[in-house]
Amino acid sequence: MACRISELVLDCRDPEALAEFWCEALGFVVLLRDGDDVEIGPREGFGGLQPTLVLSRTDDPRPGKLPLHIDVSPTDRDQDAELERLLAAGARHADVGQTGEESWYVLADPEGNEFCLLRKRLT
C-alpha cells in the first residue's frame, strides 16, 4: 500500500472565517481547534478516504498564485446551481487567463485562494 493524502494545510489570515466558508462549500464540519488553527473534514472524522483541511493562521500568507489549488465537483446538483451556491457562500470569480471555453469555473475563496468548480458531478 502506498501512502495517501490525509490532510491539506492552507495558510490564511482568519482560519475561523475560512473554515466557515470551506465547511459550507464542502459539507465539512470542524474537527479540531488547535491554538489558532482549525481542522475541518467530513462528518465521519479523521482517517477516511477524504483528506481533511487544516486552516493554519499566519500573518503573512504567501502572496500570488499558489502552486497547488483545489478542484471541487458538484455532488447533488448541476454545475450552474453549485456555482450560485458557492458564490452565495462567499466565493467570487477569479481571472487566471481563461478563454471562456473551459468546462470549469475558476473561483476564489474569501481570502483569494483560487479553486476550480468542475463540471463533472460526483456521487
- Residues 74-105: pLDDT tens digits? 999 999 999 999 999 999 999 988 998 999 99
Phi, psi of 103 (to 5 degrees): -90, 5
Question: What's the pTM value of the predicted model, to 2 decimals?
Answer: 0.87
User: Please, which residues have CB within 8 angstroms of residue 65's CB and are 6 or more apart in sequence?
Assistant: 96, 114
**Contact between residue 27 and residue 72 where contact means Cβ atoms under 8 Å apart:** no
Rounded mean pLDDT, 7-19: 94
